[in-house]
Each structure stands twice: as structure tokens, then as C-alpha cells.
Amino acid sequence: MPPINAVDVAIVGAGPCGLACAIAAQRAGLSVMTIDRGPIVGGIASYPTYMSFFSTAERLSIGGVPFLVATDKPTRRDALAYYRGVASHFALDVRQYETVCGIEPIVSVHGERDAESSALPPQWTLHTERRSGGAAHYAAHAVVVATGYFGRPNLLGVPGESMAHVQHGYREGHGAWHEPVVIVGGGNSAVDAALDMYRAGASVTMVHFETELDAKVKPWVRPDIMARIAEGSIAVRFASRVMSIEGDAVVIDGPEGTSRVSATQVYLMTGYLPETGLLETVGVPIDPVSGVPAHDSATMATPVPGIYLAGVIASGFDANKIFIENGRDHGDRIAAHLLARAPLSAHHPS
């Protein structure tokens, strides 16, 4: 095995909460690196092209850096530029397009480590695969899992779900002009996609297993979608479930029995599941009902020494519990916990 680069804190996930953790650790005098299988804030990059956030810019800011925009609600593009700027401002060490494929405890340190970069004794080795195909290995005293919520779609488990014209995310409606489209779901993501594709000239049908749209649909959007449904511009099949997906149609079962709805594009806006695989491999218990990994919310420490949570991964199956605005302070809790437990001789000078 080649020499291992050692740091005090390794963060898995370069989303806003992961970046906020890196800033907090750096400010605490700890050496830190952040590793992400995609680009910086890749979850936001995957949002619809013309999306605007629910939250104000101030609530999305991290590291004490003002997030200034000309409107009340920042857009996806505003956010991407902001977080890139913050990472550059703090000169964060972000390893993009590198997938953490394993974490294991260190019994004895393999290879050589850079004593200059790590003041706290390494406890974990991270094994990664780079986009180029090469492997890398890192050592860290603490590992923060901040893997977000957008890499593990909540599958329907129906025939045809893996076909090329079926997607679990939505970007924009231009390619749906004059196309029959089916959107599965009744929450904010489904509603936003339906309205955007309708305005792009698509023939849109929504399919939702409930008898009405979700109660949490944004109040400033609900009147719009309800008006489009009432006038017949957007069709909707309530109390219905997808049975299978075909090349040019979706087979659904609803109050009127089984029927086929024409669709050359299918968007399954059914949410995502937390990515807990890395946590499970190191022995962090996951509650089977809530999906919440065991942790102390005051410190974000799990029962496994040196393993921490940050961001929405700590919310389990309920992704609406933790957002950027209430997950951005997780890094401060983690840094404080690390410093409180570390010997004074190990602290880097501020």
C-alpha cells in the first residue's frame, strides 16, 4: 500500500453541510480534507436548472460569509456560485470525483503518514477510487459522514423502472416540448416539475398514491398547480399507483381500474433514502423504523469513536427534518467535541 496522507478530520461529502464542517474544523486548528464522488455541492448541481430555494440567502450561508443576491429567494445558479466562492475563500481541500468505497479502523498505521498534517492520532483509514480509475488511501482521526440524500432513489420496484426514459430527478422541461410525460409523486419536486414541463409545452399527467397533493406543497405554488389541474392543463390521477412502465406508456391502477397513460418521458419524484452504507460498515446502529443513525445531537458523535454525522444524513427517512439552515452548525459541534477530547499538546496553533 502506498504512503497514507493523514489529517485530523476527513469529511465524506462536499455539500453545504460538509463544507461548513470543513470550515469549522479548519478554524479550530485541525487539518481537514473533504472527499466527494461528484463535484462540489453536487446535490444542488442536480436540482432543476431554474429552481429557486425555499429559504432566504442568509439561511443558506455558511462560514460567516454573506450570501448576497438581488432577490428574496436565491436560485440554484446563485447557490452554486456562492458555495464555490466560499470553498475558494477558505482554500478548502476538496477532493472531487473521488468515491469513498471503504472505511476501516487503524490497528497499526500502514505506510508513512505526514506528521505535519495530522496532530491527532489516526483512527481510521479511508479507501477511495478516483475518476481516473486509480485508488487512494487516507488516514484520519475523525471521519464525518455528510453524504446527503440524493444518491439513493426511493425505487418503486416495478417492471420498466430501469428503462432509459425513466428518471429519478428532474432538470428542465425544454426536452419535453410536445411530449407526453408522466410524473409520479405529489410533493414539491413533483409539482415543480409538472408546472415547468407544462409551461415548456409538454402534455403532463401526475400520478399520486394519495387522494390529494401533499400538505407541504409550497403555499405560493399550490394555487398555481391547483388552477392548472382544475382547468385540465395538467392531468392528475389521484389514489393511483404505477404497476409497470413501458416504452411509450405507464400502466397504473386506480379507482377506475387499470389503465395505460401515454408517456415518452417518466419522472419518478418519489424521494430518496439516506445513504447509510459507510456507517453500517463501521458498526453505527441504524434505527430500522426512523432510519436515523445512532448519534448524540449535541456533538453529532456516533457510538463508534471518531465517526460523526453532518447534515441530512442525521434525519433518517424524514429528509424534511434537516436542511442547510439547521445542518450548517453541525461542524461547530463536531469541532468542539474533538477539541474537548484531544490533548492540549495535539492542538494546532490558531
What is the per-residue DSSP string for 254-271? ETTEEEEEE-SEEEE---
| Alpha helices (H) in the chain, listed in sequence order | 16-27, 42-45, 57-60, 76-89, 188-199, 222-230, 277-281, 324-327, 330-341
Please state the length of the chain.
350
pTM of the entire structure? 0.86
Gyration radius from the chain CA atoms:
22
CA 114 to each of CA 22, 111, 135, 278: distance values in angstroms, whole numbers, following the listed order: 19, 10, 18, 25
Residue 224 has pLDDT above 70, yes or no: yes
Confidence of residue 336 (pLDDT cuts 50, 70, 90): very high
Name the least confident of 36-45, 142-151, 286-295, 331-340: 142-151
Q: What is the pLDDT of residues 192-212, one digit of tens each?
A: 999 999 999 999 999 999 999
Stretch 13-37: mean pLDDT: 96
State how far the Cα of 35 lies from the Cα of 145, in Å rounded to an integer: 10
Confidence of residue 149 (pLDDT cuts 50, 70, 90): confident
Residue 255 has pLDDT above 90, yes or no: yes
- Give the pLDDT score at 349: 44
Q: What is the pLDDT of residues 60-105, one digit of tens each?
A: 999 999 999 988 889 999 999 999 999 999 999 999 999 999 999 9
Q: Which cell numbers hold the place of 56?
A: 432566504
Q: Which of 145, 147, 146, 100 is nearest to 125 (CA)?
A: 100
Confidence of residue 343 (pLDDT cuts 50, 70, 90): low
CB 280 within 8 A of CB 180: no
Residue 344 has pLDDT above 70, yes or no: no
State how far the Cα of 349 lies from the Cα of 336, in Å rounded to an integer: 15
CB 196 within 8 A of CB 233: no
- The β-bridge relationship of strands 203-207 and 234-237 is parallel
CA atoms 155, 159, 163, 167: torsion sign: negative
Confidence of residue 174 (pLDDT cuts 50, 70, 90): very high
Sheet holding 265-268, edge to edge: 166-167, 265-268, 180-184, 203-207, 234-237
Q: What is the dihedral of CA 146, 149, 151, 153, to 10 degrees?
A: 160
Burial bucket for residue 80 (CB in 10 Å: 0-12, 13-18, 19+):
middle
Q: Which residues contact 69 (CB under 8 A, 6 or more apart)?
A: 57, 75, 78
Q: DSSP 3-state assignment of 51? A: coil
- Give the pLDDT score at 4: 64
CA 129 to each of CA 19, 244, 294: distance values in angstroms, whole numbers, following the listed order: 21, 36, 27
Confidence of residue 112 (pLDDT cuts 50, 70, 90): very low
CA 180 to chain centre: 29
In terms of phi and psi (left: phi > 0; alpha: psi -120 to 50; beta: otherwise), the region of 238 is beta
